[in-house]
Structure 1
C-alpha cells in the first residue's frame, strides 16, 4: 500500500501510509482506537464505507502490479480475505453452506442439460470434501454438516478462517482482533493456525491490541497513531515496553493550571461514588467485577480499548443494562437496574450515542434541554388550582441561559436539534444533564464524531464545570489524550476489569501496557 490517504468529511484519518507485506509473513498492526487500523483494512478490502465517503488516494499493489479494489468482491478476486471481528455467519446454515456461500459447486442433471446451467444441482459431496480439507488445515474436528447455530464462539471464529482459506487464490488474509472473543486455549490454537497458514505462503495482517500475541507470532510490527505510521520494524528488534509506549506516546497538553494539578489533594477526601464487584451485561461492553472509588470534586477518566467494558460502566450505573453488584452514592446503596432511581440520586448522564438515544432529534433545543427535568423533578410546571401546565416562559429563560453559558451555536431555542452540528448537539446533551443539577455527571465518549475545534470546546466546558462548580465528573473516552488533558485520575479497563488507575502524567508505557492487558502480568514477572 503506497501513500494511502483518507478523509472523512474533511477530517484526515490516514496520512501518507506506506505498508509492505511479504508472502508467508505475519505482519502485526497496532494502535489505539481511532489510530486508523480499521480504515486502512477497509481500504484494502474495498468496503463500501470507503467508496461512499469519497474513496481514498494512493495505490494498492499486489505482486508488483497496481490493482483497483473498489468492492469486497474485487478484493476477493485479487486474493484478499478478511476475518472480521464481528462474525459473518448464518446460524441456520451448516458449516459447508457458510463456507461455500456464493461460491457453491454444482453438477449437471437431466433438466439442466436441456434448460441450462441455472438448473444444475448443488454438488454437496464435492463441497463437503473442500470444507473438510479447510477444517483439517486448521485441525478442527467438527463435522462439515454441523449447523453453525449453537456452536461455541471459538469454533465460529475458526469457521470464518476456514471460509477464507477455502478460496483458491488466497494470498493475503486480514485478521481483525481475532482473539478478542476467544478463551486463552482457543487463542493459542488460533495463533498456531496462523503460523501454519503463513507456512503455506499466505501473507497475514494481524490487527490486535494484545502485545504478548504480537511477540509470539508476528515477523514484523507496524504501529499507527492518529492516522500516521509511527514505526515499522522486525519483531526481533523491539519489545513489549517499546510497543506500548509507541502506541500511546504523544505530547499531552494539560488544560489545568499548575496550581490545579495538586488541587485534588486539597479537595475533600470523601468518596462520593463507589462501585463494588459491578457486573454489567451490555452487549460488546460487559464488565466483570469492577471496583472503583470516585472522590468528590474530581474528574475521573475511564479509558481502554473498544469492547473491553469501559462504556458499560456508566450505562450500568444508570440502569440501562442488567447490572449486578453494589453502587454506593453518598454512603447510600443505589437500587440497581432502575434509571429513575439513578436520576433521583443525583446522577446526570450524557450517553455515548447522542443521536440514537441521547437526543430527540426532531424536537426543539429548549425541549431537549428541559424534558428530563420536567419528568423527574417537575421543574417548569406551573399550577393553577387543580390544574397544571408546562411553563414555556421558564423553559425559554433557562434555555437561553444554557445557550449562552455553553456557547451553543444555533438560530435560537426553537431550532430543531437535528440541524445542529455534532459539537452543538453534544452541548445540548450536556445542558440537559446540567439542568438536573446533578452531584455527579457521567459523560460517555463526549467528543465522538465531532471536529477538532468542537472537541476543545466540549473539553473546556467539562473542565470549567469541575473547576468552577466543583462538579464530580466521570468521563469515559476512547481518546486517551483527552482523558490525560483534563482528568485527575484515569482507570484503564481491560477485559471487563480494572487493569489499573494512573495519574495523567504517568509514563506512556504504563498506559500502553494497561490498555494491552500486560501491566499486571509485567508486575508479577518483575517480582
Structure 2
C-alpha cells in the first residue's frame, strides 16, 4: 500500500553560484499533520520552502534537483501562483504585506470579492465593483480565527510587527483551498501568550486536514505542536522522526553539531544601583500605531541590563521607539542628569543613545549595500568615522571599513561569503547580527535593542546574548532589551519591566514567579514591585 502524503519533497538539492545549500533533502507531510523543520540559520530551511513555493529566486538561479509530489502526483511548481493553485500557502519570515493597504485589502489581495452594478450587467464582469462589506466580513472572520483584535480597516503601515505577523497568517487562513501551509518563524515576534494563540490556530487547521510545515527557533514550541521533526544541518537532513522521541537539548545539539551550555553571567564590575541613574523617564507617551505608550515612568540604572516585556499591542515596543525619536513622543526625560530632547533621532545618536529596531528590513538595514557598509554607514554619517582627507575631499577609508567589518563578523559569527556580500542575500538571523554590529560600532552609552534574537537559531541566539552581556560587563554599556520571549529576558536581565495597556505594570526580578509575570502582563499587579 502506498502511503498517502499531502506533500513529499524527494532528494532536493540546490546550489547558488557553485555553493551547495541543499543536499538530497527528503521531507514528507500527511494531511492534518504538523511537521517541524529546524536548523541553524543558513541550514537551508528557507531555501527548501522557497523551492516548494516556486519563488523566483530559485528559478532565476538555475532551478533545483529532485521532485515534489502532492497527493502522490508529481507537480511542477515554477511560480508562487502555481503553488497557490495547488493549495499551498506560505507565511514568510519577512513580511509580504503592502504597507499602504488596509488589513482587509492585504488579506483579500488577488482574491477580492466583487459585486454587480448597472455597468457590469450590461458590459460584463470586468466592470464589477469591489464588495467591501463582504471583504471586511471575511477578513474579520480570518482575524477572529486567530483570536486577535486587529481593526480590519487599519492601514498596515505603522502597525507593530506582531500584528503584521497575525495579518500574514490570517491571509493564508482566508484561502478556501488551503491544503498545505508553511509557517516560517511565525512566532518570532510574538509573546508567549500570543504564540499560544497561534498554536491553537494550528491545531484548528490540522483538524480541517491542512498539512503544516512549522519552522521555528523556539524549540519548545516545535516539540509542543509538531507530530514529527526534521533537523537540517549544513543543507542535509541529520535526523527525522516523531517529536515524542526528541528532547529540546537533543534537537539543539543536532542542529549545531555540538553541546550547548547555558549562559553563565559574569558579575558586574560595579553593581547597578538607584544611586546612579543614567536615564530617568517620566510620564512618557509615544504615538506608535498599535504600540501606544500612555504613561510610562522608570529610572534606568547605569550599567544594568533592563528588560522590557509585555503582550503585543500594549506598548512595550513603543518605549524605545519613542525615546530615540522613531515615533512622536512627549514626556519628561533626563539623560545623565540633563534634560533629554525627544523627537530628534540625530540628537539621540550624537548623545550616545543608540537603537536596534525590531524591524530589521524596514528600518534597520540598507538591503542593497554590502555587509561592511551596513556596519559602518551610521558611524560615517553621524561621526565621520572610517573617513580620511584626500586633497580637498573627505573619502571613505576602505581599509579601516574592511578591517572593522572583519572584526565584527568574527565576534558575532556573521555567516557571509565576504564583507562585500550584499545584506539582502543573508539569512534573517545574520541580517540581525549586522544590525547589532552597526549599533556597537557607534560606542553607545545606552543601547535600546528590540527583539535582538528574532529569527535567530538556538546556537546564534546564545552567541548574541553572550555578546550583549560582554559589551555590558566589559564596556559598561547600559542595555535596555525589549523581547517577546520572557525566557530570554530572564536569562540575562538584571530587572524586567512589564508594560500593560501602555503603562508600567511592574518591575520584577528575573527570578520572580511565572504567576507574578502573568499578573503583570495582564495589568493586574496592584503595585510596582522593585526586586533587587
Same fold (TM over 0.5): yes
State the Cα deviation string for residues 461-481 of structure 1 (Å, max 9, x = none). Answer: 111111222211111111111
Matched, 1:445 2:451: yes
1:255 to 263, 288, 303: 263
State the number of aligned residues: 363
Quote the Cα distance in structure 2 between the aligned partners of 1:405 and 1:173: 44
Matched, 1:353 2:380: no
Corresponding position of 1:396:
402
Corresponding position of 2:23:
none
Corresponding position of 1:226:
221
Quote the Cα distance in structure 1 between the aligned partners of 2:393 and 2:125: 72
Quote the Cα distance in structure 1 between the aligned partners of 2:298 and 2:443: 23
Change (3 A) 1:103 1:372: closer
Quote the Cα distance in structure 1 between the aligned partners of 2:322 and 2:425: 31
Quote the Cα distance in structure 2 between the aligned partners of 1:397 and 1:484: 35
Q: CA deviation at 1:437?
A: 0.9
State the Cα deviation string for residues 94-135 of structure 1 (Å, max 9, x = none). Answer: xxxxxxx9496999xxx98xx99979x99xxxx9xxxxxxxx
**What is the 5 A alignment of 1:204-243?**
226-227=221-222
Task: Give the secondary structure class of the aligned counterpart of 2:34.
Answer: strand
State the Cα deviation string for residues 6-44 of structure 1 (Å, max 9, x = none). Answer: 446769xxxxxxxxxxxxxxxxxxxxxxxxxxxxxxxxx
Quote the Cα distance in structure 2 between the aligned partners of 1:366 and 1:210: 35
Quote the Cα distance in structure 1 between the aligned partners of 2:528 and 2:308: 22
Q: CA deviation at 1:400?
A: 2.2
Matched, 1:315 2:321: yes
Rg larger in 1 or in 2? 1
Matched, 1:436 2:407: no
**What is the 5 A alignment of 1:67-146?**
102=113
Corresponding position of 1:424:
430
Matched, 1:343 2:345: no
Q: Is the 8 A contact 1:264 1:488 kept in 2?
A: no
Change (3 A) 1:179 1:389: closer
Quote the Cα distance in structure 2 between the aligned partners of 1:209 and 1:456: 19
State the Cα deviation string for residues 400-439 of structure 1 (Å, max 9, x = none). Answer: 2222333323332222222223332222211111111111
Q: Is the 8 A contact 2:311 2:521 kept in 1?
A: yes
2:374 to 343, 348, 368: 368
Quote the Cα distance in structure 2 between the aligned partners of 1:271 and 1:5: 49
2:467 to 458, 461, 470: 461
Quote the Cα distance in structure 2 between the aligned partners of 1:340 and 1:162: 40
Change (3 A) 1:160 1:396: same
Change (3 A) 1:295 1:163: closer
Q: Is the 8 A contact 1:209 1:516 kept in 2?
A: no
Quote the Cα distance in structure 2 between the aligned partners of 1:116 and 1:412: 59
Using structure 2 for the length normalisation, give the TM-score.
Answer: 0.56
Q: CA deviation at 1:265?
A: 4.0
CA RMSD of aligned residues (A): 5.0
Quote the Cα distance in structure 1 between the aligned partners of 2:501 and 2:465: 27
Using structure 1 for the length normalisation, give the TM-score.
Answer: 0.56
Corresponding position of 2:232:
none
Q: Is the 8 A contact 1:254 1:484 kept in 2?
A: no
Task: Give the secondary structure class of the aligned counterpart of 2:145.
Answer: strand
